[in-house]
Homo-oligomer: A and B are copies of this chain.
Amino acid sequence: MTHFADHLADKVCQTGNPTVLGLDPVLEYIPDSIIDYFKDQCGDAGLASGLALYEFNRRLIDSTADLIPAVKLQLAYYEQYGPHGLEALRQTIQYAHKKDMLVIADAKRNDIGSTAGAYAKAYLGSARLIDGTEQAAFDADAITVNAYLGLDGVRPFLDFCGEAGKGVFILVRTSNPSAGDLQDLILSDGRTVFEAMADHVAAWGKPYIGESGYSSVGAVVGATWPLQAARLRRLMPQTLILVPGYGAQGASADDAVCSFGPDGGGALVNASRSMMNAWKKHNLPIEQFDLAARQEAISMKNDLRQALERRAASSV
């Protein structure tokens, strides 16, 4: 039996790198050499598009798998290309597993209990096919979930965090500019809505705390809100935190490390656009996007390590 948060902590320890590679590909990011190859090879433009997305992802994984513990796949970017896009998603998950990376499906799914059960089967479990065999449709290790519907909409995902060894990240404070429209509203008891969500997440995660001290029921807290992040870390001391917003969305490493625990663990910083388009920053030709992503992974690792050291020094 594996435990998601423990497994992740081991991988972060091995690589010395608490980051996630965000694979949110669009065709516009892909070099002409790959685009032209699949356009020529394949008569069906939908299929060729899916194959090009997969090839782009495969090269990013190959160039970073020894440095980065996990990938995060933002499902919207696959869904916009239809079933062929979702086939690219499925193959990317398989390939990341082959390269020993953990996979987070950034799906932000949510529904009433029975339907949430079908989503949980789709991404963390399996469904019975027409011949009676079980098929894991997308087979991720963890999924992001929106808990506006409350516990019964979250329960089917939590159920996979026990013996099945999967993880869940529940949206608490998102990284986008209008996150506060709903999340910052003040409740009659003085908490904000996002703090009330944090209290739910901490409570729901209690049964799933592992040897690392963190629960496989995690939270999403944007790096773009460092003050809120520091407060949320205190409210959810044993919650694993997934931190979007670093890089292209404007948050710095010092912002991102606000979500780490006092032990320097318990959080995972995502970078998507800044990794996929790293060739621009590193002055490399687009054909070397994968090499550039590797350089960016090393630079991000150092950036976060230094920020954690600065934080540790300032809190002494």
Please list the residues of chain A having a beta carbon within 8 angstroms of any beta carbon in chain B. 24, 26-27, 35, 38-39, 45-46, 48-49, 52, 74, 76-77, 79-87, 90, 108-113, 115-116, 118-119, 121-123, 127-131, 133, 135, 137-138, 146-153, 171, 174-183, 185-188, 190, 193, 196-197, 200, 244, 249
Contact = CB atoms under 8 A, between A and B. Distances in A.
B135 A82 contact: yes
A211 to B, nearest CB: 30
A129 B193 contact: no
A174 B182 CA distance: 16
Copies, count: 2
Nearest to A48: B130
Contacts of A131: 39, 45, 48
A196 B216 CA distance: 31
Contacts of A196: 182, 185
21 contacts: A39-B130, A39-B131, A46-B129, A48-B129, A48-B131, A49-B130, A74-B115, A76-B118, A80-B119, A80-B121, A80-B137, A81-B135, A82-B135, A86-B86, A108-B111, A112-B249, A146-B148, A147-B181, A149-B178, A153-B174, A185-B193
Given A76-B116, A79-B123, A182-B197, 6 more contacts: A39-B130, A48-B130, A80-B121, A112-B174, A149-B182, A185-B193
A7 to B, nearest CB: 24
Contacts of A182: 147-150, 193, 196-197, 200
A57 to B, nearest CB: 15
Q: Which of A38, A150, A249 lies at the interface centre, i.e. has the most chain B CB atoms within 10 A of its CB?
A: A150
A130 B38 contact: yes
A149 B130 contact: no
Q: Which of A52, A84, A108 lies at the interface centre, i.e. has the most chain B CB atoms within 10 A of its CB?
A: A108
